[in-house]
Amino acid sequence: MKKTLLYILAAITLGTGCRKTYNDTIGGQTPDERIAAALAAYNNKLTSSPYGWMLIESTTGVAYNQGVSQTGPKIVLAYFMQFTADNKVNMYSDFDTSMIGTPKSSGWRTKALQRPVLIFDTYSYIHVPCDPDPNVSKSPYGTGYGWGTDFEYSFADSVGADKLGDTIRLTGNLNSASAILVKATQAQRDAYTSGGAKSRMLSLNQTNNILEYFKRLTIGGTTYDIRFDPVNRTITFTWSDGTNVKTATVNYYVTGTGIVFNTPIVNGSQKLTGIDNIVWDGGSSSLAVTIGSQQGTIVGAIAPVKVDLGAPARWWNYSASNDYLWASWSAFHVNGVDDAYGVTQLSNASGTFYFYAYWANYFTNPADLFGPVMLNGNSLAFNSYLSAPRKPTFTTDGRAVFTALGGIGTTPAGGPVAKTNAQLYNAAGYYFVQTGDLTYDMVVASDARAWISWFWPQ
């Protein structure tokens, strides 16, 4: 027993004598020193690029506000940035024409959180699409959300800062927006600082001055209809494979040479990745463009590249079978003018204008209903004077032709509703373009210079 006790004491003594003090240094550096060195390496990486960086940010379609999420459209934005050693960053943004043409200086820094992060710490162009005020951010998500973009990012590459190449991957810390920093070339920098990038964006915006709804481009032997959505930053290509209508919609962003598609549009062996060298010709109301190595021209057209023959009946039947209405925020766009007849300014004893409506088979006669829905207090109600069209005639060449059967109330002559009614009853009728699961554009077939965009409000 005594010997056993001696062995135990000896073991304790030996263990005590061999105990080592914990040492958390690696390569002679403490954790704080290693963190400081890593952040210094990131800073050096960002500031040492002689011509700056392009930052391309893509959202997920989800935006957060204090833990509550909203879903909505995705967006892709492009920035040119030049980081300086005194923690200033000069940037341009393709968010609008003023931001792509005028540099803004703000602050930036790196910081160690769970991962090293890049923070834009004073309000700048990159904060604008994050702004909770939709009047600033132009966000469709509603107050408090912005576009689901970020201004604080974790470095997402699995290598240290000293091993990073010319592309750096980032992940937004709030909305998980993905971003890449790509080392810019001298030509890219010069395109922003000389105003070339702004010129391309201004030319792109001239697309709205092609008064016809259908914008036509022939490239590589294929004819496309192109539809720009500058709010949601999408471009839609529609073409025919000889039998069927094909459609592809992708996000785009603006650079110094033109626009880049976030994902390519593939049509057989043809792969479209962007549109360059966009130049507006006011005399012919057309855009000269380059796609790949081929030159083309975007011009107006009065009919779709291939008519969707079933679209008019699908639109009408959906309202009739669901016993509800299609809605439009501003009724007709005519000759380049939104709300051409001033319906959004309509105000009378029924209330103030909320949206325009078309309700198939509303009356038991049967007849449809066409007219304004008004906001009165917290309630919505139809305007006191409305039009009652007959069920439209669906032609074999893919048009819907509307004729008047009667109406409710007395429509003031020459007013917004009277002008809108007259437009609906254009004898040429309308082509329908389905722009989404429950959205349609209705385009006058006479010259394609008037159209109304319908959405399903339920």
Lookup result for tokens 């210079």: 449
Q: Are strands 294-301 and 214-219 parallel, antiparallel or unpaired?
A: antiparallel
Q: Is residue 249 predicted with pLDDT exceeding 70?
A: yes
SS (H, E, C) the chain: CHHHHHHHHHHHHHHHHHCCCCCCCECCECHHHHHHHHHHHHHHHHHCCCCCEEEEEECCCEEEECCEEEECCCCEEEEEEEECCCCEEEEEECCCHHHHHCCEEEEEEEEECCCEEEEECCCCHHHHHHCCCHHHHCCCCCCCCCCCCCCEEEECCCCCHHHCCCEEEEEECCCCCEEEEEECCHHHHHHHHCCHHHHHHHHHHHHHHCCCCEEEEEECCEEEEEEEECCCCEEEEEEECCCCEEEEEEEEEECCCEEEEEEEEEECCEEEEEEEEEEEECCCCEEEEEECCEEEEEEEECCCCCCCCCHHHHHHHHHHHHCCEEEECCCEEECCECCCCCHHHCEECCEEEEEEEEEEEEECCCEEEEEEEEEECCEEEECCCEEEECCCEECCCCCEECCEEEEECCCCCCCHHHHHHHHHCCCCCEEEEEEECCEEEEEECCCCCEEEEEECCC
Report the alpha-carbon distance of residue 254 to residue 261 in Å, rounded.
9
Report the alpha-carbon distance of residue 150 to residue 252 in Å, rounded.
18
Report the alpha-carbon distance of residue 137 to residue 130 in Å, rounded.
6
Taking each helix axis from N to C terminus, what angle separates 186-193 and 196-205, rounded to the nearest 10 degrees?
70
* pLDDT band of 35, cuts 50, 70, 90: confident
Contact 276, 255 (CB under 8 A): no
Q: Is residue 8 predicted with pLDDT exceeding 50?
A: no
Return the sign of the alpha-carbon dihedral for residues 349, 350, 354, 355.
Answer: negative
Q: What is the residue-averaged pLDDT of the chain?
A: 91
**Other CB atoms within 10 Å distance of the CB of residue 29:** 13
Max CA separation in the chain (angstroms): 118
pLDDT at 352: 97
The CATH 2.40.128 domain(s) of the chain lie at 200-301, 311-455
Report the alpha-carbon distance of residue 102 to residue 91 in Å, rounded.
9
* 276-to-72, 131, 253, 291 alpha-carbon distances in Å: 29, 31, 12, 6
* pLDDT band of 386, cuts 50, 70, 90: very high
Rg (CA), the chain: 30
**Other CB atoms within 10 Å distance of the CB of residue 399:** 22
Q: Is residue 20 predicted with pLDDT exceeding 50?
A: no
Instruction: Write the burial class of residue 415 (CB in 10 Å: 0-12 exposed, 13-18 middle, 19+ buried).
Output: middle
* Mean pLDDT, rounded, for 270-294: 92
Assigned CATH for 200-301? 2.40.128
Q: Are strands 178-183 and 167-172 parallel, antiparallel or unpaired?
A: antiparallel
Tell me the per-residue pLDDT of 340-361, one tens digit each, with 9 for 90 and over: 999 999 999 999 999 999 999 9
Report the alpha-carbon distance of residue 363 to residue 353 in Å, rounded.
22
Tell me the per-residue pLDDT of 412-439, one tens digit each, with 9 for 90 and over: 999 999 999 999 999 999 999 999 999 9
Buried b / exposed e along 2-15 (16+ C-beta atoms within 10 A): eeeeeeeeeeeeee
Q: Is residue 15 predicted with pLDDT exceeding 50?
A: no
- Percentage of the chain modeled with pLDDT above 90: 82
Tell me the per-residue pLDDT of 187-209, one tens digit each, with 9 for 90 and over: 999 999 999 999 999 999 999 89
Residue positions counted in the chain: 458
Check residue 398 and give left, alpha or beta (phi > 0: left; psi -120 to 50: alpha).
left
pTM to 2 decimal places: 0.85
pLDDT at 28: 54
Residues 311-455, CATH architecture: Beta Barrel (2.40)
Tell me the per-residue pLDDT of 69-93, one tens digit each, with 9 for 90 and over: 999 999 999 999 999 999 999 999 9
